[in-house]
Amino acid sequence: MRIKKSISKNSVSYSVIENVRDIHGKSTTKVVEALGNEQEILERHPGVDPEEWARAYAKKLTEEKKKKTESVLIKYNPNKTITKDTSRSFNVGYLFLKSLFHQLKLDKICEGISERHHFTYDLKKILSLLIYMRILHPTSKKGTLERADKLLEKHEVEPQHMYRALDILAVESNVIEKAVYKNSTAIVERKTELLYYDCTNFYFEIEEEDGLKQYGMSKENRPNPIVQMGLFLDGSGLPLAFVINPGNQNEQPTLKPLEKRILKDFKLSKFVVCTDAGLSSYENRLYNSMNKRAFVTTQSIKKLKKHLKEWALDPKGWKIAGQEPNNRKKKVINLNDLDMEKDSQVYYKERWIKENDLEQKLIVTFSPKHKRYQSSIRKRQIERAQKKMDHPSTIEKKQANSPDRFIQSKHITEDGEIANKSSHSLNSNKIKEEAQFDGFYGVCTNLESTPEQIVKINQRRWEIEESFRILKSEMRTRPVFLQKDERIKAHFLVCFLSLLIFRLLEKKIDESATCPEIIETLRNMNVLESTSEGYIPTYTRSDLTDTLHDVFGFRTDTEIVTIEKMKKILKQIKKHK
């Protein structure tokens, strides 16, 4: 600290001032204490030299500050207006995401890319902003820059640089995926002995097909061009790799190319690939019967060959899931003997089948509880179908799971002539046909594991379905507004990295909160800047904020976070752990 001497026509005044730097490195001074003019100092301290006394007092304050941590006293003037067009509220929730960004060494990855491509803009800053805002405030690329002004650290990213960066990120996508997988193994355990693969699609707010944007079977039944995303998750529920294909491409051929890249780039060789029925083509099963790989895939009972379907639906020969191995032969169940209204046990039967020299085990499970659930769903759909028959103009049979599938229409009279009006009735045959499969579930595999183990593996597919839901709902990956294929690929790379960082954060806090709870908490973690002093938290402290601070090793929830403390936090975050 030092003194400031202010000389006017009639007096000389003294004050103690201190040099400070904000978190951005900008230097300024703040008044620590006003000491008064020379006459006032002499009145309080007769016989002293005012300037020498002021210097000694400033030195004393400096020494006291070094010895102890003192409360911060902030003075506000109720008559002074705040500065126009200046924001004082900033988000610090993104700091937990920033910590994971650095733990994944994405900053180093970006520096390596910048050196290879010889550009001058800050790729690290651009990618980090895209990821933080995709999680906290998903919006367009233009909106990302506008909302990023609310983050604690300022940025100077120009829109044209962001779009150029997308072109580079598309080129380097595979390199980035490979690197973050390797780096993530130092953060959490990656269970790569199990891999889950699935596909979904994302729509565009345009009508013209072009490049990746093609008309196809939209998962959301939208009449828009779409792109298709294939995603691999590992057994930990963490994203491993992804691919973007044209929206009109068949899903089944997308698995092998991406799996080959995993074998080559990720150095994985022994694993089980789990998919749903839509991706379980003969070629994919055969491919995952080679070397040290295996497969587990759902099997539609409806699509089995006639003799296998009859075997699967036969009420005889079932066993109780979970029985001790030495009891299995003793307990054989006939489904007709069960109380379908009360029983909650799970039953199974299994057999080996051979298809074009591919041997695989077919496991069929039956659950009375699931049968009751499916039956109740159908009952409500039938009720909706009956109501629709009173309003024929609302009937549409394009959607496979629509209640309209239970409605049959006649357009001719009893004499065989064309009718002026159509008659509608419930299709009892369709209802009966679907009901016979209630409660049954099929899985195929080439593993020797027990039925319980196979079913348990398959049940984990919910995690990849949830990941797609997070991408679509929480991170608003669609609609996509970009036009160039390269930038579309980069957009999904950002979404993939955002999902990975979010899932890592979930693992760090032991999945103690839901996705919406985590995002809402991070989004609301704001602080009020107090000029030259620090940042005052304005968010609600909770069990979740406590957990986040404990796990990541820094705190933003003290009554005030001084500038020095905040600078230490930012420095700490950048250190790779």
Q: Is 485 among the domain residues?
A: no
For tokens 């008659």, what's the residue?
423
Q: Is 17 among the domain residues?
A: yes
Q: Is 30 among the domain residues?
A: yes
At 394 the pLDDT is 65
Residues 6+ apart with CB under 8 A from 414: none
* Three-state secondary structure call for residue 461: coil
Last-in-domain residue among 435, 460, 478: 435
Give the separation between CA 273 and CA 437, rounded to whole angstroms: 26
Which tokens go with 37?
């003019």
Which residues constitute the domain of residue 10?
A: 2-67
In this prediction the pTM is 0.81
Q: Residue 303, class by beta-carbon neighbours within 10 Å (0-12 exposed, 13-18 middle, 19+ buried)?
A: exposed
Nearest to 173 by CA among 483, 480, 488: 488
Q: Is 155 among the domain residues?
A: no
Which tokens go with 561?
């976070």
Q: Is 174 among the domain residues?
A: no
At 284 the pLDDT is 92
Whether residue 525 contacts residue 539, with contact meaning beta carbons closer than 8 Å, is answered with yes
At 330 the pLDDT is 61
Q: Is 83 among the domain residues?
A: no
Last-in-domain residue among 67, 90, 111: 67
Q: Is 453 left (phi over 0), alpha (psi -120 to 50) or beta?
A: alpha
Give the separation between CA 505 and CA 469, rounded to whole angstroms: 17
Torsion angle (degrees, nearest 10) of CA 25, 26, 27, 31:
-110
At 421 the pLDDT is 66
Which tokens go with 535?
């940042």
At 502 the pLDDT is 97
Last-in-domain residue among 67, 87, 121: 67
Domain total in the chain: 2
341-359 burial, b at 16+ Cβ within 10 Å, e below that, comes to eebeebbbbeeebeeeeee
Main-chain phi, psi angles of 233, to 5 degrees:
-115, 150
Give the separation between CA 127 and CA 145, rounded to whole angstroms: 12
At 415 the pLDDT is 62
State the maximum Cα–Cα separation within the chain, in Å, rounded to a whole number: 126
pLDDT along the chain (577 residues), means of 10: 84 82 70 84 87 87 70 77 88 97 97 94 95 93 87 90 94 96 95 94 83 83 87 95 93 94 92 91 91 92 93 94 61 92 91 89 94 92 84 63 78 61 81 92 92 88 91 88 90 96 96 94 95 89 97 95 92 80
Q: Is 15 among the domain residues?
A: yes
At 337 the pLDDT is 94
Q: Is 21 among the domain residues?
A: yes
Which tokens go with 552?
């990541």
